[in-house]
Chain A
Amino acid sequence: MVNKQQSRNGSTQAFLADRSFYVLGVFLFLVIWQAASMLKLFGNDFSEAFSPLSAFLALIEMAKNGDIVHHTIPSLRRVLVSLFMAIIFALPVGVLVGYFRRLEQLTYVPFQFMRMISPLAWMPIAIIMFGVGDVSVTFLLWLVAIWPLILNTVHGAGRVSPLWLNMAKTMGAGDKGILTKIIIPAAIPDMLTGLRLAVGVSWIILVPAEMLGVPDGLGYFILDTRDRFRYDQLMATIFIIGLIGYLLDSANRWLISKFAWKI
């Protein structure tokens, strides 16, 4: 077996070997999926519908009749809108809390307490506040996204070296300069880590959140396919959810590799 250190030697051969193992992983995944359906792990009546091939055919069908677009767009919109609002809220809060020690002490217990509550537990309250529909779903997603963003930004802003602050002060930096040129850039790697975690958890919570009375979205469509006994479409939808989640996470990893400075 090749360990991580050995495969980093950078030659073309090693690169191709690395790539082929990624492809092999995908292939094995499909084999296990197929085997599970052939062994009737999904039950005697429907296992055929759960197979990768059925899912693939359903995927083509859904692409043709517009179901994919019709349900993916609202899901993405909800996640992106809630993420955007979470960022606007969480980054300033995180910077302030991370920078002022008293504020961190003040908020520590409430924040740690709040972040452990599944946003779905707030569901009835969200419905009382915003009614059934888009706003409630977006609110729940916002509620789950803010914690990783806040806590990671707090960590980043708290990590600012006193040496940098002293140096900035001897250079005649004002509060604004210290904030924009020292604290915020110092916290960027942690903000991006927070963003990656927020995207992951939002995407995971999206599916159950969309089961709460919205007329579209991938979470809604899961229930819809179940009600129509279209388990091939259900598997296709699960596949889409996983794929989009993977792509969102890849985008975040790219952001981190591009914008996070290294020590």
Chain B
Amino acid sequence: MADNGRSTGRTSKALISLKGVTKEYQKNGKWIEAVSNCNLEIAKNEFLVIVGPTGSGKSTLLKLVAGFEQPDKGEVLLDGEPIEGPGSDRGMIFQEYALLPWRTVLQNVELGLEFQYGKRKENRELAMEYIDMVGLSYATGKFPVEMSGGMKRRASLAMILVIKPKILLMDGPFNALDSKTKLTMHTEITRIWEHEHNTIIFVTSELDEAVKLSDRIAVMNSEGRISKIFTNDLPRPRFGKAALEPEFHHRFIELREMVMNEVKAGAGKAVCDYGQ
């Protein structure tokens, strides 16, 4: 009923909602449901992490929200309106690197700004800010062909973050990074999210990452269904000193165990990359 004032991260009104969404695709001549009858509501300013075994439809779910794919059944709504295609309100960070091979790091990061504002002086400054953030300021003049996988990954991240999308769709964005860079990126993405108040849907195969970043964790199983959604009540900040508190650490491990058991239970015959 009455909305009691300011939103505090989770409100009753969903920004994105999936209603009975099914998406099929053809594999070896058979139709398979990549996403099967999914219902999910994502609030404004929420940080939702999706985990699940390989091939459980996590990426497909993200593509549906991005608007690259249309559901075969059900509907995907943004502010109550069906999503009909991609838009600049939803920035997608792809698993593959989408860097343009004829542009340097700096020019790649400037691309989105050029699309939105044309060429202008501030673009360079703004781009440099985000290049600094992902730790690539030493390589601004490099072309993708000259860069390692990790560097490309960081550059694509800066490329999307610089346009400040309201909704960030991240498909395993930190997969290939070394642990030090990964930690920096976790801190940065949290800082950006707290500062810009964007809504993030984050797909990962690492449970530590899921627990560290999320408000909620949705677990998908090998049949493309969302089997369970965990609410992550761990206090923020979750980095540095706070993370060393025994109480915090205990709760962290506890939640991670619960999520892992759920993932394993839903893995079926699918490859499970959550062992450890």
Say yes or no: B86 contacts A262, CB within 8 Å: no
Q: Give Cα A262–Cα B100 distance, bound, in whole angstroms.
A: 11
- Residues facing B in A83-133 (CB within 8 A) are none
Map CB proximity to A onto B80-114 as digits: 1 under 8 Å, 0 otherwise. Answer: 00000111101110101010111000000001101
Q: Distance (Å) between the CB of B103 and the closest chain A CB?
A: 8
Is the CB–CB distance between A263 and B145 below 8 Å? yes
Residue B138 at the A interface, CB < 8 A?
Answer: no
Q: Determine whether the beta carbon of B115 is less than 8 Å from that of A168.
A: yes
How far apart sit A197 and B66, CA to CA, in the bound complex (Å)?
Answer: 42
B88 touches A171 (CB 8 A): yes
How many contacting A-B pairs (Cβ < 8 A)? 65
Chain B residues closer than 8 Å to A161, beta-carbon distance: 98
User: Do A170 and B88 touch (CB < 8 A)?
Assistant: yes
Measured CA separation A163–B101 after assembly (Å): 12
CB of B203 closer than 8 Å to a CB of A: no
Segment of A21-29, A65-73, A177-185, A249-257 engaged in the interface with chain B: A177-185
Question: A179: shortest Cβ distance to chain B, in Å?
Answer: 12
Interface residues on A, range: 20 to 34
* A216-263 contacts to B (CB < 8 Å): 261-263
Most buried by A among B68, B100, B159, B160: B100
Partner of B91 from A171, A182, A186 at Cβ < 8 Å = A171
Q: Mark B122-161, 1 if CB is under 8 A from A, else 0.
A: 0000000000000000000001010000000000000110
Tell me the minimal C-beta distance from A17 to chain B in angstroms. Answer: 29
How far is B102's CA from A161's CA once the two chains are assembled, in angstroms?
Answer: 13
Q: Are B90 and A170 in contact (CB under 8 A)?
A: yes
Q: Which residues on the B side are within 8 Å of A171 (C-beta)? A: 88, 91, 111-112, 115-116, 160, 163
Contact with B along A141-154 (1 / 0, CB 8 A): 00000000000000
Question: Which of A163, A171, A173, A177 has most chain B Cβ within 10 Å?
Answer: A171
Asked whether A167 is an interface residue with its Cβ less than 8 Å from the other chain, the reply is yes
Q: Known interface pairs A170-B87, A170-B90. Does A177 touch B102 (Cβ–Cβ under 8 Å)?
A: no
List B contacts of A170 (CB < 8 A): 66, 86-88, 90-92, 160, 165
CB A210 to nearest CB in B, in angstroms, measures 39
Instruction: Name A259's closest neighbour in chain B (CB-CB).
Output: B102
Task: Specify which chain B residues have a CB less than 8 angstroms from the CB of A58 in the assembled complex.
Answer: none
Question: What are the residues of chain B within 8 A of A188 when measuring CB–CB?
Answer: 102
Contact B96 A163 (CB under 8 A): yes
Cα of A263 to Cα of B99 in the assembled complex, Å? 11
Q: Which of A168, A170, A172 has the most CB of B within 10 A?
A: A170
B102 adjacent to A185 (CB under 8 Å): yes
In the bound assembly, the distance between CA atoms of A262 and B91 in angstroms comes to 27
Give chain B residues whose Cβ lies under 8 Å from the Cβ of A167: 92, 94, 98, 159
Question: Could you say which residues of chain A place their CB within 8 Å of the CB of B66?
Answer: 166, 170
Contact of B101 among A166, A168, A181, A261 (CB under 8 A): A261
Q: How far is the CA of A185 from the CA of B101 in the complex (A)?
A: 10
Report the separation of the CA atoms of residues A261 and B143 in the bound assembly, to the nearest whole angstrom: 9
- Whether B116 and A261, one on each chain, are in contact in the complex, defined by CB atoms closer than 8 angstroms, is no
The interface of chain B, by Cβ under 8 A from chain A, is: 66, 68, 85-88, 90-92, 94, 96, 98, 100-102, 111-112, 114-116, 143, 145, 159-160, 163, 165
Q: A167-B98, A177-B115 are in contact. List 6 more A-B contacts (CB 8 A).
A: A167-B94, A170-B86, A171-B115, A181-B111, A262-B145, A263-B145
Pick 20 A–B contacts, CB within 8 A, sort by A.
A163-B98, A166-B68, A166-B94, A167-B92, A167-B94, A167-B98, A169-B85, A170-B86, A171-B88, A171-B91, A171-B116, A172-B112, A172-B116, A172-B163, A174-B115, A177-B114, A181-B115, A186-B100, A261-B102, A263-B145
List the 5 closest pairs (A to B, CB-CB), nearest first.
Answer: A172-B88, A261-B102, A171-B112, A169-B86, A167-B98
